[in-house]
Amino acid sequence: MAGENKMGTMPEGRLIVTMSFPIMLSMLVQALYNIVDSAFVARISEDALTAVSLAFPVQLLMIAVATGAGVGVNALLSRRLGQKKQAEADAVAVNGIFLSICFWLVFAVLGLLFGRDFIALFTDVPAVVDMGAGYVTVVTTASCGVFLLFVAERLMQATGNTVYHMVTQLIGALLNCVLDPILIFGLFGCPALGTTGAALATVLSQITAMSIGFFINVRFNRDVRIHVRGFRPDVRILAEIVRIGLPAALQQSLLSVLTVGLNRILMPFSQTAVGFYGVYYKLQNFLFMPVYGLNNALIPMIGFNYGAKNRRRIERITRYALLLALGIMAAGTLLFEALPVPLLRLFDASDAMLALGVPAIRIISASFCLAGVSVILSGCMQGLGRGSESLIVALLRQLVLLLPAAVLLSHVSLSALWLAFPLAEACGLAAAVLLHRRVCRRLLSGLSE
């Protein structure tokens, strides 16, 4: 029952570890299979790697919308459980599923109609356009796996069942690693489908993980009951999910806008520069995913204890999360500074890519610890239902400061362009600290110690 939920009773340090570690591990594996995708595609040709890099913003945008719906469900559901309102918690779950289905249908239509036009915005190389358009078409029309997998996982996270979340992610990631070489290169009698095969491997893995996620929720999640019979969309609940989740969706979608913007800035330098940024983003994700996993675990913990009016637990949970995020990012900074060449060699990097990529990685990695603190403070504000402040931080970090700085510095040199990353993260961190303090003063001052 909600009153016995571990988010309200377990010691804070142990709670952080037990809830965040399974999510962190599963998201690490998820980032790993993104790396595997690109590593296999790079063995087709540099054109293939560029095509997938140009299609990547579409995937980021779908993940952003799915994340927004998931954050809305996560925060609202955990709060209702903290308030011991079981019927309302169940209604949040079913309406979240309905909303995710609607998002899938929208992206399926957009992908079919405009996928080729999107890729053609960046290049007129026929092979790149063909491969990129095929990839976009597959990942959008079969995106039910993305949207419904996210909501299934958030139902587990919001109730503290993060081990089940880890199981679904691991199965999906491992299946993708198996299917990639089979469908890309045509093993075991299958046709060689190239980049389209990589897209098929991704969506088949997501749909499988989604199915397992819903089976686990129906069979083993005792805190939430999913009632489909007689369902009618509840406009009030849907609006609340969107209200809470929209800032998170916009925040995540900034990654898509950022990638599109940087691709446009980098393409005049060379196609190799675009390919490098696609590779770098996958490597960065491998480091950032554990922090995002920690952030995903933090949101329901903060939301539950805010619903239970327990200020002391909120403050201690936030403190432990910050320390853990800093440790992860510090280790990642050392790794990227020390081993840029072996990391790029994972993708068959050419000499030209190494020449521009090694200094770029070393410059950008100076911003990792700053970013880690900003992510955790943003997650705390999301858990308190203040997604707008979190969005402001993300806008500063990933758009308002970063892209203009990249444009200006690109006129100096390609190497100077990468300085935009640590500059934007430093300003974003200052904003995150100030906004977090203001939110806590407003919302937590009247709660019990």
pLDDT (tens, 9 = 90+) of the chain, 449 residues, equals 444 567 666 777 778 877 777 777 767 776 776 677 778 888 888 788 888 888 888 887 888 888 888 878 877 887 777 677 777 777 888 888 899 999 999 999 999 999 899 999 888 888 889 999 999 999 999 988 889 888 887 777 666 666 676 778 788 888 888 998 999 998 888 899 998 999 999 899 989 989 998 888 788 777 777 777 777 888 888 888 888 787 777 767 777 788 888 888 988 888 888 888 888 888 888 888 888 888 878 887 888 888 778 888 888 889 999 999 999 999 999 999 999 999 998 887 888 889 999 999 999 999 999 999 999 998 888 888 787 788 888 888 878 889 899 999 999 998 899 999 999 999 999 999 999 999 888 887 766 55
pLDDT of residue 159: 62
Long-range interactions of 341-346: CB distance < 8 A, separation 24+ = 343/283, 344/276, 344/279, 346/35, 346/39
Long-range interactions of 358-362: CB distance < 8 A, separation 24+ = 359/415, 359/418, 360/276, 360/280, 360/415, 360/418, 361/280, 361/283, 361/336, 362/336, 362/337
Work out the angle between the directed axes of helices 144-158 and 46-82 (0-180°, nearest 10): 40
Can you give the C-alpha Rg of the chain in angstroms? 21
Work out the angle at residue 413's Cα, subtended by the Cα atoms of residues 412 and 414, and round it to the nearest 5 degrees: 145
Pair 276, 345: CB distance under 8 Å: no
* Cα dist from 131 to 21, 44, 154, 180, 386, whole Å: 37, 11, 33, 16, 41
- Compute the residue count for the chain: 449
Tens of pLDDT, residue by residue over 369-421, are: 999 999 999 888 888 878 778 888 888 887 888 989 999 999 999 889 999 99
Phi and psi, residue 121, nearest 5°: -65, -25
How far from the centroid of its chain's Cα atoms is residue 435's Cα? 22
Q: To which residue do tokens 């945008």 refer?
A: 61
In the chain the first and final C-alpha atoms are separated, in Å, by: 24
pLDDT of residue 158: 63
HSE, CB side, 13 Å, CA atoms: give it for residue 214: 20
pLDDT of residue 108: 94
Pair 119, 54: CB distance under 8 Å: yes
Q: To which residue do tokens 């095509």 refer?
A: 51
pLDDT of residue 84: 72
Q: To which residue do tokens 């060689």 refer?
A: 192
Pair 138, 196: CB distance under 8 Å: yes
Pair 172, 201: CB distance under 8 Å: no
* pTM: predicted TM-score of the whole model, two decimal places: 0.69
CA distance 181 to 187: 7
Other CB atoms within 10 Å distance of the CB of residue 225? 14
Residue 270: burial class (beta carbons within 10 Å; 0-12, 13-18, 19+): middle
* Cα dist from 154 to 239, 244, 333, 428, whole Å: 18, 14, 30, 27
* Cα dist from 179 to 55, 59, 285, 347, whole Å: 20, 19, 21, 18
Pair 229, 164: CB distance under 8 Å: no
